[in-house]
């Protein structure tokens, strides 16, 4: 981790801003949730205090206004109205810019604060009932606190804490020096002082706890109520329905007793996770990949020799390398919930921009994916969700006319299937109009007027560059960009896209994504004199192709497998090896989704731990391969792109059926 304290603050600020955003979105759905209101207030308070501590004064000053607004919500003075939530969400974007050090216009900040003030005034009502003049109920507290010894080293300053107490009311501060050691034993970097504060304030006990919110779990804090407030008779008469809440003196030991389990819980949580920069994980993954390649070479050498000791050592290193690889894979895995959570804000903004009522449902948030895959999926999912909101969902009036609920639903779901994760984006909108898609494709010259297309091929046309069926261009879509980017990105991840849609009922787009982009288990095969790797997760079974079956299927490449016809591709012909086939050829049955295709190879060499290396720019457009790997003898083997080969098999089979 970087030792720069500013960078550490920025990382923590991002986490706090994420908590604020998620809490605000929760409040949009559940405005009366007190726990969520408290969580948002605490995050704002922490962000303000941390910003001031690390010199982000503009951030602290701006956040203070949002904190004040939520303090009023917390006290029940104003409700968490939709306008207030929207105003704080907009302000949160400004806070993010200030925390990241980006340029943030002061005029824009003032405009956001003015919107926040209007939202608060609108929520509280402009006409407040006149009350009889009465002074606020005051309480006197005796506060004794001592900071942890390392507080100064960690950047905690006692004077701002005392200033915050002064802001709450009239206070008298006395320094406690009874624990200051002799000069010879004094460590100037440690905090030895304590403070006693007599505070008379109109605020309650929670305001005192909020002052020490950053250090309350590590410090010594005693709060004693010296005088409780009396309930003014005029105030009681002005609010006949209000029942005054009894004030009970809290023993001085109570805060410490409550803080102890919280401190223990925090310490336990702190020991469970470690923040590590992503580049270090990437570097470690590269080293593991090189180790796997070296282990593969050692295995090849040991297999060619006769030394049993060398073979034993090779097997032990192979086991350890496999365990290290699996452990490294787990370390890089993160739940897709981290990705899905970002889209709650997107749905909130889309509903506002389109004037539609949109609800988002999430499923399978604990499903895990490689962190690199998660990062690269963000933009494609944004395009798909925006497309579903603008193209897919109807207006409330159109939905009512169709007999649907006024609120449309977009569902995000993730589940693991073998070595793939399937992410689906489903909407209950109008569905895809095949006739309009075909007409637009013919108009753009993508297909001929008399072309015969399957439903799958027709729906895949929406991913063509420049393709759009939108009748009008909006700020969200209609220019024909976005969906082609989605397809390129998913294919760059060695994934595939499947589209299903029912007119009038909705659409679903399924993304099939490999779990990792680094190391996979593969099946090493030989075709002619070259060797290739087939991802083991896509392999269903291997069968022998006899010479009779080979000769019988020269017209249509089909093999009968348990009473089912499975098309197959002769890789020897596809790769133009110009070699004679082996006498005992093998068919590797691979699958992606619901489709199965056989790949005819000359020989199956066995399993292989495959470290994936990207192809160069000159070979990036070769669709049959998704990458390359280095074998134990130093030779290079290409990794077959199974979805592309399955699609090729489907196309070939369709051509044969049409010709027959």
Q: How many CB atoms lie within 10 A of CB 537?
A: 19
Mean pLDDT calculated for residue range 591-611: 82
Q: Looking at domain 336-514, which CATH architecture does it have?
A: 2-Layer Sandwich (3.30)
pLDDT digits (tens, 9 = 90+) for 114-146: 888 888 887 655 444 434 444 557 888 899 999
pLDDT digits (tens, 9 = 90+) for 51-103: 877 778 888 888 888 888 888 888 888 888 888 888 888 888 888 888 888 87
Pairing of strands 333-335, 558-561: unpaired
Model confidence at 636, pLDDT cuts 50, 70, 90, reads confident
- Using a pLDDT cut of 90, give the percent of the chain over it: 9
User: Would you call 75 helix, strand, or coil by DSSP?
Assistant: coil
Q: What's CA 276's distance to the chain center, in Å?
A: 17
Q: For the domain covering 5-124, report its CATH number.
A: 1.20.120.160
Model confidence at 553, pLDDT cuts 50, 70, 90, reads low
Model confidence at 348, pLDDT cuts 50, 70, 90, reads confident
Question: Helices 343-354 and 82-100: crossing angle, nearest 10°?
Answer: 130
pLDDT digits (tens, 9 = 90+) for 192-208: 889 999 988 888 888 88
DSSP 565-610: EEEEEEHHHHTT---PPPSSEEEEEEEETTEEEEEEESEEEEEEEE
Res 231: pLDDT: 42
More confident residue, 157 or 403: 403
Model confidence at 494, pLDDT cuts 50, 70, 90, reads confident
Q: Express the helix, strand and coil content of the chain in percent, nearest 5 each.
A: 45, 20, 30
Euclidean distance between CA atoms 182 and 606, whole angstroms: 75
Res 121: pLDDT: 80
Model confidence at 485, pLDDT cuts 50, 70, 90, reads confident
Euclidean distance between CA atoms 441 and 465, whole angstroms: 11
What is the pLDDT of the chain when averaged over all its residues? 79
Res 410: pLDDT: 93
Give the list of residues 6+ apart from residue 394 with CB closer than 8 angstroms, or none: 356, 402, 404, 408, 429, 430
End-to-end Cα separation, the chain, in angstroms: 65
pLDDT at 383 over 70: yes
Q: Which run of H or E residues covers position 261?
A: helix 253-270
Backbone torsions φ then ψ of 636, nearest 5 degrees: -105, 135
What ranges in 333-433 are assigned the alpha helix state H?
337-340, 343-354, 371-387, 396-401
Task: Please tell me what DSSP assigns to residue 625.
Answer: E
Mean pLDDT calculated for residue range 606-631: 76
Q: Looking at domain 139-232+249-258, which CATH architecture does it have?
A: 2-Layer Sandwich (3.30)
Q: For the domain covering 519-659, report its CATH number.
A: 2.30.30.40
Q: How many CB atoms lie within 10 A of CB 110?
A: 11
Q: Say if pTM beats, i.e. exceeds, 0.85.
A: no
Res 133: pLDDT: 44
Res 569: pLDDT: 86
Domain chopping of the chain, boundaries: 5-124, 139-232+249-258, 278-334, 336-514, 519-659
Pair 412, 362: CB distance under 8 Å? yes
Mean pLDDT calculated for residue range 326-338: 84
Give the list of residues 6+ apart from residue 52 with CB closer than 8 angstroms, or none: 60, 160
Res 493: pLDDT: 81
Q: Which of 245-259, 271-285, 344-358, 447-461 ranks highest by mean pLDDT?
A: 344-358
pLDDT at 447 over 60: yes
Token pair belonging to 31: 């405005």
DSSP 492-551: HTT-EEEEEEETTTEEEEEEEEES-SSEEEEEEEEETTEEEEEEGGGEEEEEEE-HHHHH
Pair 161, 207: CB distance under 8 Å? no
pLDDT digits (tens, 9 = 90+) for 506-536: 999 999 888 777 777 889 999 988 999 998 8
Q: Which of 133-147, 300-314, 475-489 ranks highest by mean pLDDT?
A: 300-314
pLDDT at 609 over 70: yes
Question: Helices 371-387 and 343-354: crossing angle, nearest 10°?
Answer: 10
Model confidence at 260, pLDDT cuts 50, 70, 90, reads very low
Give the list of residues 6+ apart from residue 370 with CB closer than 8 angstroms, or none: 329, 332, 333, 515, 516, 517, 518
Residue with tokens 């539609």, as numbered in its chain: 356
pLDDT at 224 over 60: yes
Euclidean distance between CA atoms 193 and 568, whole angstroms: 81
Q: Angle at the Cα of 496 (from 565 to 482), degrees rounded to 5? A: 140
Q: How many CB atoms lie within 10 A of CB 634?
A: 10
Question: Helices 343-354 and 5-29: crossing angle, nearest 10°?
Answer: 50
Mean pLDDT calculated for residue range 220-225: 89
Res 15: pLDDT: 86
Pairing of strands 564-570, 595-601: parallel
Pairing of strands 603-611, 558-561: unpaired
pLDDT at 255 over 80: no
Model confidence at 363, pLDDT cuts 50, 70, 90, reads very high
């Amino acid at each position: 981790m970087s030792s720069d304290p500013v960078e550490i603050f920025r990382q923590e600020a991002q986490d706090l801003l994420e908590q604020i955003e998620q809490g605000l979105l929760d409040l949009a759905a559940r405005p009366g949730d007190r726990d969520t209101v408290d969580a948002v207030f605490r995050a704002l308070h922490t962000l303000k205090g941390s910003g001031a501590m690390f010199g982000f004064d503009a951030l602290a000053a701006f956040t203070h206004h949002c904190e004040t607004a939520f303090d009023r919500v917390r006290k029940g003075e104003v409700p968490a109205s939709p306008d207030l939530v929207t105003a704080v969400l907009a302000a949160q974007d400004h806070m993010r810019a200030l925390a990241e050090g980006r340029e943030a216009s002061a005029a824009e900040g003032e405009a956001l604060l003015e919107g926040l003030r209007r939202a608060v005034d609108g929520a509280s009502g402009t006409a407040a009932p006149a009350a009889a003049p009465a002074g606020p109920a005051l309480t006197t507290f005796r506060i004794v606190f001592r900071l942890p010894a390392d507080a100064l080293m960690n950047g905690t300053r006692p004077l701002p804490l005392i200033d915050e107490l002064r802001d709450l009311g009239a206070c008298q501060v006395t320094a406690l020096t009874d624990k200051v050691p002799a000069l010879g034993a004094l460590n100037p970097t440690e905090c030895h002082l304590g403070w006693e504060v007599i505070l008379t304030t109109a605020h309650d006990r929670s305001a005192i706890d909020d002052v020490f919110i950053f250090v309350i779990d590590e410090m010594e804090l005693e709060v004693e109520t010296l005088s409780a407030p009396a309930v003014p008779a005029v105030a009681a008469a002005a609010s006949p329905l209000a029942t005054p809440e009894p004030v009970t003196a809290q023993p001085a030991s109570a805060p410490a007793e409550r803080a102890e389990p919280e401190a223990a819980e925090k310490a336990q949580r702190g020991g469970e996770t470690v923040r590590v920069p992503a580049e270090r994980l990437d570097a470690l993954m590269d080293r593991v990949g090189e180790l796997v390649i070296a282990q593969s070479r050692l295995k090849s050498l040991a297999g060619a020799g006769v030394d049993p000791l060398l073979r034993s050592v090779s097997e032990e290193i192979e086991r350890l390398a496999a365990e290290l690889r699996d452990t490294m894979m787990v370390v890089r895995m993160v739940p897709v919930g981290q990705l899905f959570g970002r889209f709650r804000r997107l749905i909130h903004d889309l509903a506002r921009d389109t004037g539609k009522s949109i609800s988002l449902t999430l499923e399978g948030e604990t499903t895990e994916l490689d962190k690199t895959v998660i990062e690269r999926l963000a933009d494609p999912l944004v395009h798909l969700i925006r497309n579903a909101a603008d193209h897919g969902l109807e207006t409330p009036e159109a939905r009512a006319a169709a007999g649907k609920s006024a609120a449309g639903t977009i569902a995000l779901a993730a589940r693991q299937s073998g070595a793939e994760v399937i992410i689906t984006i489903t909407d209950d909108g109008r569905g895809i109009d095949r006739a309009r898609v075909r007409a637009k494709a013919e108009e753009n010259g993508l297909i001929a007027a008399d072309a015969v297309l399957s439903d799958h091929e027709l729906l895949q046309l929406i991913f063509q560059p420049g393709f759009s069926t939108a009748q009008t261009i909006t700020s969200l879509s209609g220019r024909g960009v976005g969906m082609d980017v989605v397809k390129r990105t998913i294919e760059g991840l060695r994934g595939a896209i499947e589209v299903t849609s029912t007119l009038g009922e909705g659409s679903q787009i399924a993304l099939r994504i490999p779990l990792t982009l680094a190391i996979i288990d593969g099946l090493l095969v030989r075709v002619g004199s070259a060797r290739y790797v087939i991802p083991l997760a896509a392999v269903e079974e291997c069968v022998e192709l006899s010479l009779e079956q080979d000769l019988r299927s020269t017209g249509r490449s089909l093999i009968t497998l348990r009473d089912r016809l499975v098309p197959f591709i002769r890789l020897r012909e596809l790769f133009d090896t110009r070699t004679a086939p082996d006498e005992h050829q093998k068919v590797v049955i691979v699958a992606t989704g619901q489709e199965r295709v056989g790949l005819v190879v000359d020989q199956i060499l066995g399993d292989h731990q495959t470290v994936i290396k990207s192809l160069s720019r000159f070979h990036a457009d070769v669709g049959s391969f998704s990458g390359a790997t280095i074998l134990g003898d130093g030779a290079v083997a290409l990794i077959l792109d199974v979805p592309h080969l399955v699609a090729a098999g489907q196309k070939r089979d369709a051509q044969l059926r049409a010709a027959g």
